[in-house]
Amino acid sequence: MRKNKVVLSIFLVFLTIFLVSALLKTDISYGKTEAITYTIADATGDWGYPSPYTHYPRGPGYVRMSFIFDTLLWKDETGFIPLLAQKWHYEEKENAYIFSLQKGVSWHDGREFTAKDVIFTFNYIKKHPTWMVDSSIVEEAVEIDPYTVKIYLKELYAPFLNNVACTLPILPQHIWQEVEYPRGFQKDEALVGTGPYRLCDYNRAQGTYLYQSSPNYYLGKLKVERIKFIKVSEQMASAALKRGEVNASSVPPEAVKDLKRWGLQILTCLGSWNAKLMINHTKEPLSSRKFRQALAFAINREEIVKITQRGYATVGSTGLIPPSQEYWYNPNIEQYSYSPAKAQAILESLGYHRKNGYYWKNGEKLRLELLTSPQFAGFIRLAELVSQQLEKAGIAVSMRILDSKSLDVRVGSWKFDLAVSGHGALSGDPFILNKVILGKDFISARYDKNELLNKLLSDQLHQMDREKRKEMMYKIQKIYAQELPALTLYYPTWYWAHDGSSNLYYTQDGIAFGIPIPLNKLCFLE
Amino acid sequence: MRTKIINYAVAFLVLLVLNFILPRLMPGDPLSAIYGEEVLVQMSPELKANLIGRFALDKPLWEQFTSYISSLAKGDLGYSYYQNAAVSEIILAHLPWTLLLMGLAIIFSSVVGIIMGIESGWKRGKLMDKTCLTGMMTLSGFPSFFLGMMLLLFFAVTLRFLPLQGARTAYGNLTGGWIVLDVLKHLILPLTSLTLAEIPANYLLTRNTMIINAREPFILTAKAKGLPDSKVRYRHAGRNSLLPVVTRIGIKLGIIVTGALFVEIIFSYPGVGNLIYTSLLMRDYPVLQGSLIMVTAFVLLVNLGVDLIYKKLDPRT
């Protein structure tokens, strides 16, 4: 009789789980999203206390803060739109922007919003720098009248509207004037803004946020009363969307087809991030522009997209700016389409000859070291493929896997030949080119050997005429593609799925300075 | 006894020195480690200068070490610039969830493992023993995270009976008993996977000792006295088979904090394992260091505790 007791008890354990869970299912109505609550899934969860100084210095942290704090201007699908500033114009003679502010706007604590708050904010960030805005560009902020401010710039600065007016959250003077250490200021008052939502709860451990709509938002009524951010891993996001537990989430590319079948709407983000091959252009033979071009011909970027990204990416443009940046992208530059023959011709013109499958020069085998790290998904596979392609073209490659920090240091101190790296911020203002071409960080190509390129990069920052700036950007891409101080391999495609209850969209040039997340707070307006 | 405590103190000191030295041997500046290169792209030069000033490690190493030890003594595990909070505060927010999950898993797996081990060992070679043994051997081949994924796919994704992840329903407007039920409901799958993964070791250990004990003369005496079978099995043989299992549970208690790492990640359970994982992704080194110190201190403390208890329990000493 007792023989089967233990076997039976195992079954009983399973049966109990089964029954208890089924029982609980009928009792707790968890996850049922009411019409007025919008739930957003996030794989990381915690992005910090959403005040301008305490959210984590990443895009999702900024977005959580942007629900509470408004900026002077904002962007939607089409471009700049008014927010705290009703109107704005640029005074060329004085190199200043004049903003006419909205009247009748109040802070969440009922106090009136005026020009004084704007002036205060510009002064405050000079004393307490933030990660999102470079306040050194601003010479002075002056109050013309209680609803007009004039911002004098130190020098001509083309990205001002995008990088400052659309990005800098305006702080209430009556609260922040007393705050000496803003990063430590985490009281309720730190979250008094003029934005459409107020924070009801933030749980660091659970990675959850709850927002409640502000009753008298100056741009109109909000159709979504409550916004919830909950932590859901990327793998489970599809299941959560199907179950109706969340309204929106970023999803892995492989899930897109299935989610479409379930009637979910898909948003696609092309080209905000790029994987690139860093090239040590300070040492032989990579210091030769022609040699770098031969490398580009030898690398099959289409195959890389197909194999390492399973097709969910755009082939990298040699001019760095992705084709999805339609306004700035120059389609007429040399793209170095895969051509082993051309690579061979260049290498031979440089004095290399092929023997036993590899190129040799002065009795030495052409050999390069390729560094990679497991920091980003697929980077090891990517490096393996690049190695194979170069080997096929006659260049011996030894691949080395380092931890990401060691790789960054090696690249930063020029102790490498080739390295696989990557960075984002390509969906915002193209000023990013200055940082990733001339910048001094390991993320940058640190290439200043072309005088014309240096001049164009510096001049475009000061070119206030958008069309003329575009012309300059076209030239910059052309020269960059010729010089090839680094080679962009691909831009991965990112997907978001949502149930359509709110009209989510990707903001033109990204939220604020260029965040590629389709959670623009204005999506939730009626 | 005194030497034992001194040994532990030395081990702890070595760990402290390691914990102090390792991050200082890391290549590169801490700035990129803390903020990550994504931000370096966006960060303004003035903020960068400001932060570099904050991280300046310009004092001699000895002074740095003494200030490190003195702040540790005050319970200060450091400060996470990424999370903008004290490390101890961050860890304490995650610790209860891990303790709940791992604590229950250890209790359940011990109880079930021991009972099954006793039953199985008592009836060695019978059908039930063979079935159990085969089942347990198979089960012991599956790591907890694999079981977790299977359970998650079956009970949460396919059958939709249980929540996909987390430790509670976020903003579900639940009160009183419903909160407890909600927490339990979220606990079922991660707890089951951890328990199932832990049962086999306890089972096998108990079963082995049980087989040895069953041959002992005192069992024969007990049987000869005419005691009921269940009493002989549990009071006499079973009780004496517990010692090795208790040792194992003691060891398990030491790694209670990190034992659930993979399962926590799969279920997005907000425990210390998940915290360590996220910190690793974000390269939040202060949190990683703080967790390391806490875990090692915990392991040493539990080991010391087990050592001391053993002294009292073992009649031979």
Residue pair A70/A195 in contact by the 8 Å Cβ criterion: yes
Interface with chain A: mutation pick from B24, B40, B41, B42, highest number of A CBs within 10 Å: B42
Q: Which residue of chain A has the CA closest to B94?
A: A205
Residue pair A169/A73 in contact by the 8 Å Cβ criterion: no
Task: Look at residue A9 and tell me whether its pLDDT is greater than 80.
Answer: no
pLDDT in tens, A397-410: 999 999 887 888 89
Residues near B316 by beta carbon (within 8 Å), at least 6 away in sequence: none
**DSSP-derived secondary structure for A169-204:** PPPPHHHHTT-S-GGG--SGGGG--SSSEEEEEEET
ipTM for this prediction: 0.78
pLDDT in tens, B243-290: 788 788 877 877 777 778 889 988 989 999 889 888 887 777 788 888
Q: Kindly determine whether residue A203 and residue B170, on different chains, have CB atoms separated by under 8 Å.
A: yes
Q: Is the dihedral of CA A189, A195, A199, A205 positive or negative?
A: negative
Neighboring chain A residues of B171 at a CB cutoff of 8 Å: 201, 208, 210, 226, 228
pLDDT at A22: 44
A269-273 mean pLDDT? 90
Interface with chain A: mutation pick from B152, B171, B285, highest number of A CBs within 10 Å: B171
Nearest residue, CB atoms, A6 vs list B36, B116, B152: B116
Q: Kindly determine whether residue A3 and residue B126, on different chains, have CB atoms separated by under 8 Å.
A: yes
pLDDT at A64: 97
Q: Which residue of chain A has the CA closest to B271?
A: A205
Q: Is the dihedral of CA B147, B153, B159, B165 positive or negative?
A: positive
To the nearest whole Å, the CA of A26 is away from the closest chain B CA by: 10
- Which residues between 137 and 176 in chain A have a beta carbon less than 8 angstroms from any beta carbon of chain B? none
Q: Are β-strands A248-251 and A148-153 bridged in parallel, bridged antiparallel, or unpaired?
A: unpaired
Neighboring chain B residues of A210 at a CB cutoff of 8 Å: 170-171
Q: Does A204 touch chain B (CB under 8 A)?
A: yes
Rg of chain B over CA atoms, in angstroms?
25
Q: Kindly determine whether residue A206 and residue B84, on different chains, have CB atoms separated by under 8 Å.
A: no
Neighboring chain A residues of B84 at a CB cutoff of 8 Å: 48-49, 54, 56, 183-184, 186
> What is the band of A36 on the pLDDT scale with cuts at 50, 70, 90?
confident
Residue pair B40/A446 in contact by the 8 Å Cβ criterion: no
Q: Kindly determine whether residue B47 and residue A48, on different chains, have CB atoms separated by under 8 Å.
A: no
Residue predicted with more confidence, A425 or A316: A316
Tokens 């999805």, residue? A324
Tokens 């003035």, residue? B46
To the nearest whole Å, the CA of B255 is away from the closest chain A CA by: 21
Residue pair B172/B290 in contact by the 8 Å Cβ criterion: no
pLDDT in tens, A423-465: 888 988 999 999 999 998 888 999 999 999 999 999 999 999 9
3-state secondary structure A336-380: CCCCHHHHHHHHHHCCCEEECCEEEECCEECEEEEEECCCCCCHH
Q: Kindly determine whether residue B166 and residue A231, on different chains, have CB atoms separated by under 8 Å.
A: yes
Q: Does A22 touch chain B (CB under 8 A)?
A: yes
Q: Does A25 touch chain B (CB under 8 A)?
A: yes
Residue of A421, A278, A410, A444 lying closest to B27 (CA atoms): A410
Q: Kindly determine whether residue A442 and residue B37, on different chains, have CB atoms separated by under 8 Å.
A: yes
Q: CA A495, CA B180: separation in Å to the nearest integer?
A: 36
* Mean pLDDT for all residues in chain A: 90
Q: Which residues of chain B have pLDDT under 70?
A: 23-24, 26-60, 312-317
Q: What angle do CA A413, A415, A420 make, to 5 degrees?
A: 95
Q: CA A337, CA A301: separation in Å to the nearest integer?
A: 8
What pTM value is reported for the model? Answer: 0.84
Task: Look at residue A305 and tell me whether its pLDDT is greater than 70.
Answer: yes
The Cα-based distances of B56 to A27, A53, A122, B73, B78 in angstroms read 56, 21, 28, 23, 15
Tokens 């990063």, residue? A183
Our measurement of the distance from residue B3's CA atom to the centroid of its chain's CA atoms, rounded to an integer in Å, reads 28
To the nearest whole Å, the CA of A505 is away from the closest chain B CA by: 23
Residue pair A25/B161 in contact by the 8 Å Cβ criterion: yes
